Amino acid sequence: MGSTSAQTNEGLGRRDLIKRSAAIGLISVPTMGFLSACASSDSGGNGKVEKGTKSDKNPLGVNESAPLDFVLFDGGFGQQYAKDAIKVYETNYPKATVKFTPTQKITTTLQPRFNGGTPPDLIDNSGAEQMDMGVLVGQKQLADLTPLLDAPSIDDPSKKVRDTLRPGIVEMGQFDGEQCWILNYAYTVYGVWYSQKLLDSLDAKYPETWDEMLAVCEKAKKKGIAAWTYAGKHPYYVPFSLYPMIGKVGGREVLDAIDNLEPKAWEHPAVKACFEAYYELVQKGYILKGTPGLDHIQSQTAWTEGKALFIPNGSWVENEAAKTMPADFGLAVSGPTGLDASDKMPFGTIWAAGGEPFIVPAKAKNAEGGMEQLRIMLSEASSKNFTQSVKSLTALNGGTDGIELSPGLKSGVAALEKAGQNVVNPRLQDWYVALQKEKIGVAGIGEMMAGRATPAETIKKIQKFADEAAKDSSIKHYKH
């Protein structure tokens, strides 16, 4: 590789016009790639700030005067919560300055920095341009967050941070082995979202079996309301209620087999039954007309306007749709409706999982600072601040005492309580993004929900996608 680039430079150098600039700027580019490729065994220690001394107040040993470089995805949760947490950091370490960069273009902004070995110290890796976690882990670009998990919690120094987190948060950060690479800061409840007011006006309650579901749909139809809508342009929102339904009907193992890309996983009878149930909604005309052409905002707006009753979504919808939601909407969420009494899991089974993944790069100059900033964010005060301002739960277990919850949040907490141990967490969407969203979501479920493919065709198509992904050596594979 080194010789290739040398030759290229020589070739260019002969054209005397560019010789001088080439000498300054260009040669170093591939050479640098070459050097760093060779030097990767050198533990990448160059340029790291010296560790500070550990103390009770500073259990991670943060260098008190080292600058902190924090890149945040500026999306649905905004940036204020991070700014507030940074203020705390700067108060605790008055000699440190925090460079804060909110952006929506995570990959475009950070790709060159990862390549150059100068990534920031803390990243909220989220949004449409989220960097592929599997690749980052596989390429050893991330720091193990175990020191953070084992550090004492800010609110109760006798407890470790890991013991203050909601169930599933640590597991979601693990890929293979004990190290934890990701900390999901937000906690999302997925399910069927509806307006309690609209449901009451139909003189109905949330259906527990599919027969009841069809009855409610029919009632709504008679009143000129569509029972369902969804983000037609992003049909991978449908799984937010469809996957937990599959889990409820067939048990956790079915979802695990799907995540493991096992052969014939999608041909399980529970999957078939649930697909057919959803297809029945399509065939009986219970889905809002035009839905396949609506994006998430458009479908949510039709739903807040009362044109449709149910929408599969995540708990961020309360914040995202706040602008069009009437004050007396009575936002509520429920676990998915099942088929009948023979379902493997009880009604109330729900999908809940971490979201908004924070990472600390392996080559961060001030990794301790990045983790300390996370530790601050996981304090009760910061967590409450987040919950109140963006109407979402955090990874911190509890942390809602004494603050007034918005209707959707209250309903989400109640749904979690009702679910108890029956929380499922399908992993396809963080393990195999392209498979889940583009292939299963758009090309599979999307076509079925638009009425252009039957459940049998869809299952066959999806199984083929899954088999291809299982065989694809350019994708890293994970198992439960």
Subset of residues 87 to 146 that bind other proteins, contact rule: CB under 8 A = 101, 103-105, 107-109, 111-112, 114-117, 127-132, 134-136, 139-141
Backbone angle region of 334, left / alpha / beta, with phi > 0 → left and psi within -120 to 50 → alpha = beta
How far apart CA 394 and CA 259 sit, in angstroms, is 25
How far apart CA 413 and CA 397 sit, in angstroms, is 11
Give all strands (DSSP E) within 306-455, no chain letters: 308-314, 331-334, 350-359, 393-394, 423-424
Is residue 3 within the footprint of other proteins (CB under 8 A)? no
Q: Which one-letter DSSP state was computed for residue 265?
A: G
Identify which of residues 67 and 134 has a Cβ nearer to other proteins in the complex. Answer: 134
Is residue 290 within the footprint of other proteins (CB under 8 A)? yes
- In angstroms, what is the C-alpha Rg of the chain? 25
Cα three-residue angle 325-326-331, rounded to 5 degrees: 65
**Residue 462 C-alpha from the chain's centroid:** 22
How far apart CA 53 and CA 2 sit, in angstroms, is 41
Q: Taking a C-beta distance cutoff of 8 angstroms, is the pair 442, 450 a contact?
A: no
Interface mask (CB under 8 A) for other proteins, residues 217-256, using x and -?
---------------xxxxx--------------------
Residues 6 or more apart whose CB falls under 8 angstroms from that of 229 comprise 287, 288, 291, 294, 299, 302, 303, 307, 308, 310, 311
Interface mask (CB under 8 A) for other proteins, residues 303-332, using x and -?
--x-x------------xxxxx--------
Is residue 388 within the footprint of other proteins (CB under 8 A)? no
Positions in 8-27 near other proteins (CB under 8 A): 8, 12, 15, 17-18, 21-22, 24-26
Positions in 22-51 near other proteins (CB under 8 A): 22, 24-26, 28-30, 32-33, 36-37, 40
Is residue 204 within the footprint of other proteins (CB under 8 A)? no
* Segment near other proteins (CB under 8 A); pick from 46-54, 195-203, 283-291, 411-419: 283-291
> Which position among 47, 269, 293, 398 is part of the footprint of other proteins (CB under 8 A)?
293
Is residue 356 within the footprint of other proteins (CB under 8 A)? no
Identify which of residues 28 and 201 has a Cβ nearer to other proteins in the complex. Answer: 28
Is residue 441 within the footprint of other proteins (CB under 8 A)? yes
How far apart CA 336 and CA 248 sit, in angstroms, is 8
Min separation Cβ 429 and other proteins, Å:
10
How far apart CA 374 and CA 165 sit, in angstroms, is 13
Identify which of residues 206 and 386 has a Cβ nearer to other proteins in the complex. Answer: 386
Positions in 152-171 near other proteins (CB under 8 A): none
* Segment near other proteins (CB under 8 A); pick from 81-89, 262-270, 380-388, 431-439: 431-439
> Which position among 202, 282, 414, 442 is part of the footprint of other proteins (CB under 8 A)?
442
Identify which of residues 31 and 397 has a Cβ nearer to other proteins in the complex. Answer: 31
How many residues in the chain?
A: 480
Min separation Cβ 134 and other proteins, Å:
7
Size of the site for other proteins (CB under 8 A): 86
Q: Tell whether the torsion through CA atoms of 415, 416, 418 and 424 is positive or negative.
A: positive
Q: Taking a C-beta distance cutoff of 8 angstroms, is the pair 190, 352 a contact?
A: yes
Identify which of residues 4 and 65 has a Cβ nearer to other proteins in the complex. Answer: 4
